[in-house]
Amino acid sequence: MKKVGIIGAMELEVEVLKERMEIRNRLEKASMEFLEGTLSGTEVVVVRSGIGKVNAALCAQILCDCFEVTHIINTGVAGSLKNEINIGDIVVSTDALHHDMDVQVFGYPLGEVPQMGCLAFQADAKLAQLAVSCCKEVNPDIAVYQGRVVSGDQFISDKGIKGKLIQNFQGYCVEMEGAAIAHAAYLNHVPFVIIRAISDKADDSAQMAYPAFEKAAAARSEALVEYMLPKIL
């Protein structure tokens, strides 16, 4: 039977899902509270991982080991890396990579984790396609894009750094957890998708834009997750 692990880094990225789910059980592990229950009639485990890649990877591993989830969805907000992707729009991952991994000195492409055999971790094509089609139904007024999510332990608020991320990785959006969740899901052979609503443009305006738009953006991503859950096969 399907059981979907849903990870948001911050409370505001999972608070709507927590309010709307029927909670059966609460388990604390690694200082994270895992809520087991149903949402939209689907078995789920909803958890706030905390910010950054280490928290996110730990969280995904616990979902695999202790809850035996069949799918992982990462919901939340991100900075846009494309001019046409605006605040409020949604990016669904094709794949995800660590933009702050650099072992070029030993011949690995920038972003590739040595000995993993891939530069980026591929999202599950069916989950991604479902997220895109559901987004058009649930959020018909906003644009949805499918592309690469790049993650690092940095909040990007600088035009120059943003330019490098675009040039080096052709990312659609930047955030701080997705690649770590993707990485853990890949190692555990669990299908995953990252769904991120844009809260800022990851440039010099980001520091101002982010606090103004994070809550509304996070809620859009959550609404999409809730809507797509019963349609996951």
Q: Which residues bind ligand ADE (CB under 6 A)?
A: 77-79, 155-157, 174-176, 199-200, 202, 206, 210
Q: Which is nearer to ligand ADE, 91 or 156 (CB)?
A: 156
Q: Which is nearer to ligand ADE, 108 or 213 (CB)?
A: 213
13 is catalytic: yes
Q: Which of 112, 200, 203, 214 is catalytic?
A: 200
Identify the DSSP state of 203: S
Minimum distance from CB of 153 to ligand ADE (Å)? 9
Rounded Cα distance between 187 and 55, Å, is: 16
Rounded Cα distance between 228 and 18, Å, is: 16
The Cβ of residue 233 has, within 10 Å, a number of other Cβ atoms equal to: 7
Residue number of the CB closest to ligand ADE reads 79
CB 121 within 8 A of CB 185: yes
Rounded Cα distance between 73 and 123, Å, is: 10
Structure tokens at 105: 């000195």
Q: Which is nearer to ligand ADE, 112 or 200 (CB)?
A: 200
Minimum distance from CB of 43 to ligand ADE (Å)? 29
Q: Which of 13, 95, 214, 222 is catalytic?
A: 13
Q: Which is nearer to ligand ADE, 90 or 174 (CB)?
A: 174
Where does the chain have alpha helices with state H? Answer: 11-20, 53-67, 125-138, 159-169, 178-187, 206-228
Minimum distance from CB of 76 to ligand ADE (Å)? 7
Minimum distance from CB of 156 to ligand ADE (Å)? 4
Rounded Cα distance between 107 and 191, Å, is: 29
Catalytic site residues? 13, 200
